[in-house]
Amino acid sequence: MNTATAASPAHNMAVAFARVLRGVGLDAPLDSVIVFVSALAQLGLKNRNDIYWAAHSTLVRRHEDTPMFDRAFAVFWDQSIAINKSDDEPETISMTLLVDDENEQDKNNQTAEPLDDENTITLRFSSIETLREKDFAEYNDAELREAEQFMSNLRLAGPPKKSLRLKNSNHHGARHDIRRTMRASLQHDGEPIERYWREPSTRLRRLVVLLDISGSMEPYARALLRFMHAAVVGRQRVEAFTFGTRLTRITKELTSRDPDRALAQTSSQVSDWSGGTRLGECLRNFNDHWGIGGMARGSIFVVLSDGWDRGDPEVLAEQMQRLNRVAFRMIWVNPLKVSPGYAPLARGMAAALPFIDDFVEGHSLDALQCLTEVISRNSNERQRMMANA
């Protein structure tokens, strides 16, 4: 005959915490929860560090989930333990999960019965946090719109370049400012007691972005096109192109601050969506008409592509070499690089890799955040990065 026993506080809190993790988008399978409950039964609720590592080792499946887990643990577990220690009698603990984009719903529920603040644990998460690591290929239309706001806040500055224009300098510069020095000398009977200097000013480097819109890039092209729009409207000196079977300049179409209007104008301008890819020929077209003569010279050159190419890889290698000679930095963003066991074996990717300074991922918002850091890196040292096989 089985005797029913009341669940212990450790059991109740372990199960509740697992539910919270699921509520914020983390995977907490039943078998992991059972192991966590067993661990808490042995550890108790006294040592926070032991409890944290027991929860982390049993409920966190991926390394990238740790930041979200830490926030949930700090808010939920610390307050839960404080409530348990304050009173030995059984209490009802209410958990409220607030997401930033649900403010309207919260306003509509203001007439609901108020909860006891003492025993209420409130978790507030931004909806964008759950999207930062999500693959763009899994986004729906609503999530793409949410991601636009994050992309608009990215700062694509990049290291400046010296200009031919001179500016006044407060210290010894490269050149004497004869005019200011002579004007100041009139106050001292013509004696140049105070000398003035000028130095070269700086200006923003041009950022050139090429987006692959071929069939293989279709799952990522929607999100990356929004990234290009954010770059064009949020930064000066940006040039945007798409390429598939042909090269199309879309800088003018993306200058509208209304994302829907900008994307609609771009769609009407580009005629080779989801087609084939001729990387080498498109880059040759860019070099001959825009790149080598001025647009690419001294610029930060970014290619958003998975590297699949139907053309001659020797042509692609030749054009990448031409760009490499004049560009300040060559960056290749490949959404497939995050895949386990990825190796740059595609013909186009293998041909372009020797001429690339930075080879980075581009599958998520976090990856684009890392891209902005690469763009801002203040060094033109050539970094040929090869992915591990």
pLDDT tens per residue across span 248-301: 999 999 999 888 899 899 988 998 888 888 999 999 999 999 988 789 999 999
Q: What is residue 44's three-state secondary structure?
A: coil
> pLDDT-based confidence at 203, cuts 50/70/90?
confident
Asked whether the predicted pLDDT for residue 95 surpasses 60, the reply is: no
The whole-number pLDDT of residue 7 equals: 59
Average pLDDT over residues 298-319: 92
The whole-number pLDDT of residue 198 equals: 78
> pLDDT-based confidence at 327, cuts 50/70/90?
very high
The whole-number pLDDT of residue 60 equals: 85
The whole-number pLDDT of residue 94 equals: 52
- Average pLDDT of every residue of the chain: 79
The whole-number pLDDT of residue 77 equals: 65
The CA distances from residue 351 to 63, 131, 240, 314, 320, in Å, are 33, 33, 23, 7, 9
Tallying the residues shown for the chain, one arrives at 389
The burial class, CB within 10 Å (0-12 / 13-18 / 19+), for 355 is buried
Round to whole Å and give the CA distance between 247 and 243. 4
DSSP string across 196-252: -EEEEEEEPPPEEEEEE-SGGGHHHHHHHHHHHHHHHHHSSSEEEEEESSSEEE-TT
CB 10 within 8 A of CB 41: yes
Pairing of strands 175-176, 94-99: unpaired
The residue among 381 and 301 whose pLDDT is bigger is 301
CB 37 within 8 A of CB 15: yes
> pLDDT-based confidence at 66, cuts 50/70/90?
confident
The token duo for 237 is 């000196």
Asked whether the predicted pLDDT for residue 49 surpasses 60, the reply is: yes
Closest among 242, 163, 205 to 375, alpha carbons compared = 205
CB 231 within 8 A of CB 240: yes
The whole-number pLDDT of residue 81 equals: 53
Q: Nearest-5° angle of CA 110, CA 111, CA 115?
A: 75
Average pLDDT over residues 12-36: 78
pLDDT tens, residue by residue, 182-199: 888 888 777 777 787 777
